[in-house]
């Protein structure tokens, strides 16, 4: 990276050819993405909702299936590009999707065109254009510079898709709620300032000109209400016939209004206050994961798989997956039940169990174990023979049981029991049919 510009690191200094035309969809719409400057990330409550979602998403663990890009699995799990590790990579993507409903992922290649990483991109403006029969995605960044990449080589993550076929909608629908938050915050600040002031109501005894009343008010304030008056006493002359302090009541925000604002923000971002304040229980977390985290993980897996593998490689089973084995928020009893039930059925290895308990992996932890009393259905025919029960008779009175053989000596085989009489009398000894 020494002496290399950031755009050269991403696009290797490739300049876009002369633009023939803007790409249009079937509905005649030219796909163009423009970031919304409505300040969604500038309010405390909305920023908390976005950051909470992005933080939970950053726990996702990427895994590469297949052999096409197996060499990059550790790169994706630790440091997908020169500037950020995996948690920052996923967190930035989640933040872009939550704030602007559109996020871009561009491949990072070496000088020979070999894929070596991925980078999350936020553009000020993005256009789909055509040049020499090739469809490109052209970016405009905040510093005025442009970058372009072939459309099939870029990953696009979206949310709230409607009017645009390629990009997500903006956050304009949240603007009224943002205005309510701003107005409420301003009202609280002004109310606190006013309630902190000491105010008096004074009645003038004589007729005074307006300019004289203004001078007396200023004089009374400077002499009695300034910081220089450390005596705690207020003294006034006969110019005022009556002087009474105005009591200021503390301002309390309307609890119902605040609750409505919080519910609007939580509904928009698909969360709740228990998630934002980290007070959730197992049921609340499972609902949040199923409704918010898992759809993001599925989309991220598909987007990165489609942009990183060819169609033939995907058909052969190559894919990038983001697993949730480090997202389990459950009680210790639930963790123990999941660990034991899935481990002895070979659905989890020891490393998977360690991930549930947030413990380091162990040597040989990638092996799978299964309980041996399980069998395949096709093998049930081999176990239809009638079982035989071995009955060992107790020694009679006055007889001693056979002593076990000593070390180095072979134990004598007990004599076979006599055959039962032909007439069927007597008891059976030895091997008895299980019927």
Is 390 within a domain? no
* Claim to verify: residue 42 and residue 143 sit in the same structural domain: yes
Burial annotation 42-55 (CB, 10 A radius, 16+ → b, else e): ebebbebbbbbbbe
Q: Report the SS3 class of residue 74.
A: helix
* Claim to verify: residue 63 and residue 89 sit in the same structural domain: yes
So what's the pLDDT on residue 401? 47
Among candidates 280, 356, 350, which has minimal Cα distance to 323?
356
* Claim to verify: residue 12 and residue 158 sit in the same structural domain: yes
Looking at 193, 213, 246, the residue that finishes a domain is 246
* Claim to verify: residue 209 and residue 241 sit in the same structural domain: yes
* Claim to verify: residue 135 and residue 278 sit in the same structural domain: yes
DSSP state of 353: H
So what's the pLDDT on residue 415? 54
So what's the pLDDT on residue 295? 94
Q: Which domain holds residue 355?
A: 331-384
Both tokens of 35, joined, read 């970031």
Is 434 within a domain? no
Is 394 within a domain? no
Looking at 229, 246, 263, the residue that finishes a domain is 246
Is 29 within a domain? yes
State the DSSP string of 11-44: HTTPPP----EE---TTS---EEE---S-GGGSH
- Beta carbons of 43 and 178 less than 8 angstroms apart: yes
* Claim to verify: residue 317 and residue 335 sit in the same structural domain: no
Is 267 within a domain? yes
286 vs 275: CA distance, rounded Å: 11
275 vs 266: CA distance, rounded Å: 10
So what's the pLDDT on residue 434? 43
Q: In this structure, are strands 125-131 and 134-140 parallel, antiparallel, or unpaired? A: antiparallel
* Claim to verify: residue 275 and residue 130 sit in the same structural domain: yes
Paired residues of 388 in beta bridges: 433
User: Is the CA virtual torsion 94, 96, 101, 104 positive or negative?
Assistant: negative
Is 129 within a domain? yes
* Claim to verify: residue 133 and residue 279 sit in the same structural domain: yes
* Claim to verify: residue 279 and residue 339 sit in the same structural domain: no
As averages over each run of 10 residues, the pLDDT of the chain (435 residues) reads 54 49 46 56 87 94 93 94 94 93 90 90 79 81 78 90 84 84 78 65 70 78 70 68 67 78 91 93 89 94 94 94 73 85 88 86 89 68 57 53 48 53 49 45
Which H or E run includes 120?
strand 115-121
72 vs 116: CA distance, rounded Å: 7
Which H or E run includes 119?
strand 115-121
User: Is the CA virtual torsion 37, 39, 41, 47 positive or negative?
Assistant: negative
Domain count for the chain, please give it.
Answer: 3
Is 282 within a domain? yes
Which H or E run includes 52?
helix 44-57
Which H or E run includes 9?
helix 6-11
User: Is the CA virtual torsion 298, 302, 308, 309 positive or negative?
Assistant: positive
* Claim to verify: residue 143 and residue 31 sit in the same structural domain: yes
Among candidates 353, 355, 349, 326, which has minimal Cα distance to 338?
353
Q: Write the CB contacts of 150 (distance below 8 Å, at least 6 apart in sequence).
A: 134, 135, 136, 137
So what's the pLDDT on residue 26? 44
Is 403 within a domain? no
Q: How far is CA 372 from the centre of its chain?
A: 38
Helix crossing, 44-57 with 175-196: angle to 10°? Answer: 130
Among candidates 370, 371, 336, 369, which has minimal Cα distance to 353?
336
- Beta carbons of 336 and 330 less than 8 angstroms apart: no
- Beta carbons of 353 and 360 less than 8 angstroms apart: no
* Claim to verify: residue 145 and residue 261 sit in the same structural domain: yes
Looking at 246, 271, 291, the residue that finishes a domain is 246
* Claim to verify: residue 298 and residue 351 sit in the same structural domain: no
So what's the pLDDT on residue 62? 94
């Amino acid at each position: 990276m020494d002496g290399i510009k950031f755009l050269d690191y991403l696009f290797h200094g490739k300049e876009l050819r002369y633009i023939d035309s803007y790409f249009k969809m079937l509905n005649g719409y030219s796909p163009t993405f423009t970031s919304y400057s409505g300040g969604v990330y500038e309010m405390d409550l909305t920023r908390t909702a976005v950051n909470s979602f992005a933080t939970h998403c950053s726990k996702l663990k990427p895994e590469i299936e297949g052999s096409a890009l197996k060499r990059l699995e550790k790169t994706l799990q630790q440091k997908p590009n020169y500037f950020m590790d995996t948690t920052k990579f996923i967190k930035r993507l989640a933040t872009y999707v939550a704030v602007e409903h559109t996020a871009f992922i561009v491949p990072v290649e070496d000088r020979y065109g070999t894929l070596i990483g991925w980078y999350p991109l936020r553009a000020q403006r993005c256009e789909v254009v055509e040049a020499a029969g090739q469809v490109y995605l052209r970016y405009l960044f905040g510093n005025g510079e442009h970058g372009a990449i072939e459309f099939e080589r870029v990953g696009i993550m979206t949310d709230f898709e409607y009017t645009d076929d390629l990009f997500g909608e903006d956050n304009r629908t949240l603007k009224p709620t943002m205005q309510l938050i701003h107005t409420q915050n301003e009202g609280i600040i002004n109310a606190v300032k006013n309630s902190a002031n000491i105010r008096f109501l004074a009645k003038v005894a004589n007729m005074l000109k307006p300019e004289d009343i203004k001078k007396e008010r200023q004089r009374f304030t400077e002499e009695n209400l300034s910081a220089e008056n450390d005596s705690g006493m207020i003294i006034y002359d006969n110019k005022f016939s009556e002087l009474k302090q105005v009591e200021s009541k503390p301002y309390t925000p309307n609890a119902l209004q605040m609750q409505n604002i919080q519910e609007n923000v939580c509904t928009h971002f698909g969360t709740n206050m228990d998630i934002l304040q980290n007070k959730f229980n197992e049921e609340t977390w499972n609902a949040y994961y199923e409704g918010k985290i898992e759809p993001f993980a599925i989309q991220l897996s598909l987007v990165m798989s489609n942009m990183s593998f060819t169609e033939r490689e995907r058909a052969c089973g190559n894919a990038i997956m983001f697993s949730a084995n480090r997202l389990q928020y459950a009680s210790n009893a639930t963790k123990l039940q999941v660990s034991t039930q899935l481990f002895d059925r070979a659905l989890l290895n020891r490393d998977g169990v360690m991930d549930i308990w947030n413990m380091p992996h162990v040597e040989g932890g990638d092996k799978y174990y299964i309980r041996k009393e399980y069998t395949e259905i096709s093998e049930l025919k081999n176990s239809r023979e009638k079982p035989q029960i071995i009955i060992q008779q107790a020694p009679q009175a006055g007889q001693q049981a056979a002593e076990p053989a000593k070390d180095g000596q072979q134990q004598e085989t007990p004599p076979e029991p006599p055959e039962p009489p032909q007439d069927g009398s007597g008891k059976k000894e030895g091997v008895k049919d299980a019927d």
